[in-house]
Amino acid sequence: MTPTTQLEFVTVDVFTSQPYEGNPLAIVRIPHGRSVSQEEKQTIAREFNLSETAFLHEKSGGAQEDAWTVDIFITTKELPFAGHPTVGTACYVLGRTAQERGVRDGVIEASFKLKAGPVGLRYDVAKRTARADIPHDVHIHKKRWTRDELFALQSRLAEAFQQSVIRAREDYPIVSIVKGMTFVLVELESLEALSLVSLASHALKFDDLDEGWSDTFVGVYFFVRTGKGKDGSTAVRTRMIEGPLEDPATGSAASDLAAYLSIVEGKASETLKYEIIQGVEMGRRSEIFLETVLSENKSISKIYLEGGSVQVMEGRLTI
């Protein structure tokens, strides 16, 4: 690439229909035939400095199949899968597709090619929401995170526990949604306890996860069950902390949690729904919808992640 190469980009807020809520995402459009190295993508993602940046490889003008290749980066590395970039990019590109075709209602089916595998998509034109059949390889690790390890990073929770203001379990599950994306799932008893969660001094890194799974992103996903939705879904409030950072909406963590709860609490061949609200404490409320399908042996057969997005900015960047 030459120093004068320009690429178009947009930013969107994901898992919301309101600008400046939800989780921001940068989407960089790479024209068909244009070469952008992984190092250059990493540099761009670091410049945006958002939780994720998606790189949308556009099809040739004659391509008929609704399939796009999408690469997802955080500021330090590429990810095999992440939920809010998948849903946000799907809403953006399929919303454009609906406009170009003059479609005002109905559903557009398409797919993305991610590093974690193919992702089937359904875009509701009227609702402006995307539903992704996400890749998964759910793995519950033998190792568990102890209460003492939690309190070492969360002093306000430790103090509340010592004063008998809250209760806390002895340990917590560590679950990977795919290789490379892992979350500690910490259930708290109340929204008051959730409000005590704070940023941590450092991000977690485990060297003793199950063999072949230790090279991974690790976040801590705090959650509180808040009842049932109108459609029978399990309503949950969450926060996702990765060291000194908090994420307003984390589709991969939400999928991880829904998969784990379904395996532990669901019945064979059952379909379960979850409505997850995240980002409230940050002033960026996000609404994440999930549906899990269990097989006859209670393993995860399907995970569907759904949400909307709204465009906020557009422009060009130079490399």
Q: Which DSSP category does 128 fall into?
A: T
Structure tokens at 96: 């454009």
Handedness of CA 66, 132, 286, 73 (dihedral sign): negative
Catalytic, 52? Answer yes
Place of tokens 């320009």: 6
Residue 169 sits at φ, ψ, to 5 deg, of: -75, 165
178: helix, coil or strand? strand
The whole-angstrom separation of Cα 110 and Cα 67 is 6
The answer to whether the beta carbons of residues 247 and 263 sit under 8 Å apart is no
264: helix, coil or strand? helix
Strand (E) or helix (H) holding 149 = helix 147-153
Place of tokens 């991880």: 256
Q: Which one of the listed residues 21, 52, 291, 306 is annotated catalytic?
A: 52
User: If we measure between CA atoms, which residue out of 200, 138, 143 comes closest to residue 174?
Assistant: 143
121: helix, coil or strand? strand
The answer to whether the beta carbons of residues 138 and 266 sit under 8 Å apart is no
How many Cα atoms sit within 13 Å of 213 on the Cβ side?
A: 22
The whole-angstrom separation of Cα 152 and Cα 165 is 18
User: Catalytic residue positions?
Assistant: 52
